[in-house]
Copies of this chain bind each other. A is one copy, B any other.
Amino acid sequence: MYYVLGIDGGGTKTICLVMNEQRQILGRGEAGASNYQSIGANAALISIESAIKAAIEQTGKIQVQAICLGLAGAGRSKDIEVIQGIIRDLQQSPNLPIEWILPNNIIICHDALTALVGGIGNDVGVVVAAGTGTIVFGRNQQGQTKRVGGWGYILGDEGGAYNIAVAGMKAAMRAYDGRELSTCLVEDFKNQLGLESIEDLIEVVYRRGWGVREIASLAPVVDNAAVNGDEVAREIIDEGVRELVKATRVVVTELVGDDFEIVTVGSVWKAKSNIRKKFMESICAEFGNVRVILPRYEPAYGACLLALKQLHFS
């Protein structure tokens, strides 16, 4: 009996699953953030080790023959070197009751791939991830891949929660100035944040140490305003949908479209303003045999499948 570890490392938490060759999950552990670019390699190592340890507690000592780590932004060779260092450290760790048998069975990949494989249950299809940021990633039967977006809150992330929130705040300031249509977003942001004047958004956004995540958490203000019929908010939401459709179109077309599953993952899809419905209508109108699905499994499950696949090839 052999086992693999699948790890999903993100900006808020790290999840580790233990899977056997029958694709059965035997253990699951969670720990804190492991996006090493923000928190440093050592803190990432500690989170990953904790998640593994918590998962192994449910299995007892095991032999691990392959490990797959999906980590946010792990695309570049420099990143991969750092993460390989982390795995070497893991294999030396006295805290883990694991017998490592994985000379070459170490897979380090972008979290979009693990989200795709987990979401669909195999490694062919397209994932449209729209949380704080956005990325569209696809892989076809021939193994060709295509990525669009995922460039972060300054360079891209169109259609993501951060962008929606910022567009909403900008629209509020423009209405307040008299530059654009009036919108209930002015009052909505004031109420949401307990501000006397919308000018105090400056205090909130620049001076309270708010980061991308905190700003993104205001996206529901725009979503709710859109649901309540505010034209400006609705246009922001529709623009987000158009961006997600556009990015998806490029990926599907490049992989020689049709007959794909597209899995939607991330908080934006849970919006009340029908973002997912509008996205599905656009995509299905454009492509014949594309099906838009909800995730079947979590990304760490996808990481396990990728680890198993590596074993079968090696």
Greatest chain B CB density within 10 A among A155, A200, A206, A250 is at A155
A182 to chain B, nearest CB (A): 13
A104 part of interface (Cβ distance < 8 Å): no
Greatest chain B CB density within 10 A among A148, A173, A179, A250 is at A179
Q: What DSSP secondary structure best describes chain A's contact surface?
A: helix
Give the total of A residues in contact with B, Cβ under 8 Å: 33
Q: Do the beta carbons of B154 and A173 come within 8 Å of each other?
A: no
Question: In the complex, what residues of B have CB within 8 A of residue A203's CB?
Answer: 76
A220 to chain B, nearest CB (A): 18
A154-B206, A169-B155, A201-B155 known; A179 vs B75 contact (CB < 8 Å): no
Q: Give complex CA distance A173, B155 in Å.
A: 7
Q: Which residue of chain B lies nearest to A253 when distances are taken between CB atoms in the complex?
A: B178
Q: Do the beta carbons of A166 and B154 come within 8 Å of each other?
A: yes
Q: Do the beta carbons of B73 and A179 come within 8 Å of each other?
A: no
Q: Give complex CA distance A147, B199 in Å.
A: 12
A152 part of interface (Cβ distance < 8 Å): yes
Q: Give complex CA distance A151, B171 in Å.
A: 12
A183 to chain B, nearest CB (A): 14
Q: Do the beta carbons of A206 and B152 come within 8 Å of each other?
A: yes
Q: Do the beta carbons of B76 and A155 come within 8 Å of each other?
A: no
17 residue pairs bridging A and B, Cβ less than 8 Å apart? A37-B206, A37-B207, A73-B202, A76-B199, A76-B203, A151-B202, A152-B202, A154-B166, A154-B169, A154-B205, A154-B206, A155-B166, A155-B169, A155-B173, A155-B201, A156-B173, A179-B247
